[in-house]
Amino acid sequence: MLSFIFMEKRLQKILSEMGIASRRRAEELIFEGQITVNGKVATVGMKADPSKDHIKVGGKLITVLKKGSQKVYLMINKPRGVVTTLYDPEGRPTVKDFLKDIKYRIFPIGRLDYHSEGLLLLTNDGDFAHAVMHPSKKMLKTYLVKVKGIIGKDNIKRLRRGIKLEDGATLPAKVRRISQSEKNSWIEISLYEGRKRQVRRMLESVGHPVIMLRRIGINGLKLKDLKLGEFRHLTIDELQLIRREMGKIKEESFENQ
């Protein structure tokens, strides 16, 4: 069985990968003296190994999956107005607030921004998280989006081909118009990438700002009847949908789920 390999990394990266804070916010927490490593106040640029070092954020120890521990795979229907982290210094609701019955230390896979809702996966399995997030694994993420204005065929073609953003051109996307009214349109857009606010930025660039955004699928995984704020464990069949794309991850990684 493969396991998530830990090594020394910058503290900002560790906290980001574990869903505790964005890299920028992690740097701010370091400046504020909120992070310690083995009892010493951390400094910007410091590296640590979360499998060996005692890292605390706001006095709370962060932990990682130990060898032999049960792996957990969850799906939550994230509401709008909820932060996709386990800790928010501003006191805003986080996904952790909806997981009070989960005793294992888990972290979100990727992000759904504060104003978006829908399907979010959480786990304590680093290999699984990497497979879902990395573009090379071809995990298709599907979104239902309400935008301002009537989106025409030309702009749909532009979205399909890829859009030039400030951080580079996007990969081709799957796009179809679902419906429209006098002032707004509903579209479905699917893409392999997961850049920060990517769907919103793509649509803004073609003149159709997002009114509402909901993620409805990840590589065949769907919310089904999961209500906003509710979560559930993934089924064996759902895990298989991800495992097919994981390549080197062996079947034993998903036993006893």
Tell me whether residue 113 is one of the annotated catalytic residues: yes
Q: Rounded to an integer, what distance in angstroms lies between the CA atom of residue 184 and that of residue 189?
A: 16
Backbone phi, psi, residue 12, to 5°: -60, -40
Helix (H) or strand (E) holding 211: strand 210-218
Q: Which residues contact 255 (CB under 8 A, 6 or more apart)?
A: none
Q: Rounded to an integer, what distance in angstroms lies between the CA atom of residue 153 and that of residue 156?
A: 5
- 3-state DSSP assignment of residue 241: helix
- Looking at residue 200, what is its pLDDT? 96
What confidence tier does 17 reach under pLDDT thresholds 50, 70, 90? low
Catalytic residue among 88, 113, 125, 127: 113
Distance, C-alpha 192 to centroid of its chain: 13
Higher-confidence residue: 61 or 176?
176
Higher-confidence residue: 238 or 157?
157
Query: All domains of the chain, ordered by start, with CATH?
Result: 9-61 (3.10.290.10), 73-135+220-254 (3.30.70.580), 140-218 (3.30.70.1560)
What confidence tier does 239 reach under pLDDT thresholds 50, 70, 90? confident
Task: Provide the residue type at 108 as one letter.
Answer: P
What confidence tier does 245 reach under pLDDT thresholds 50, 70, 90? low
What confidence tier does 246 reach under pLDDT thresholds 50, 70, 90? low
Question: Which residue's structure tokens are 């859009």?
Answer: 163
Distance, C-alpha 16 to centroid of its chain: 11
- Looking at residue 107, what is its pLDDT? 87
> What would the mean pLDDT of 53-74 be, rounded to a whole number?
73
Full-model pTM: 0.72
> What would the mean pLDDT of 171-190 be, rounded to a whole number?
94
CB 223 within 8 A of CB 231: no
- 3-state DSSP assignment of residue 248: coil
Q: In what order do the strands lie in the sheet with 55-57?
A: 40-41, 35-37, 55-57, 60-61
Model pLDDT for residues 103-154, shown as the tens digit of each residue: 777 889 888 999 999 999 999 887 788 778 776 667 889 999 999 999 999 9
> In 3D, which of 77, 60, 79, 80 has the Cα closest to residue 18?
60
Q: Could you tell me if residue 68 is left (phi over 0), alpha (psi between -120 and 50 degrees) or otherwise beta?
A: left
Q: Could you tell me if residue 186 is left (phi over 0), alpha (psi between -120 and 50 degrees) or otherwise beta?
A: beta
Statement: residue 33 has pLDDT above 60: yes
What confidence tier does 256 reach under pLDDT thresholds 50, 70, 90? very low
Model pLDDT for residues 186-231, shown as the tens digit of each residue: 999 999 888 889 999 999 999 999 999 999 999 889 998 899 999 9
Q: What is the mean pLDDT of the chain?
A: 84
> In 3D, which of 3, 13, 62 has the Cα closest to residue 36?
62
Q: Rounded to an integer, what distance in angstroms lies between the CA atom of residue 37 and that of residue 159?
A: 45
The CA distances from residue 88 to 25, 107, 146, in Å, are 9, 14, 28
- Looking at residue 49, what is its pLDDT? 83
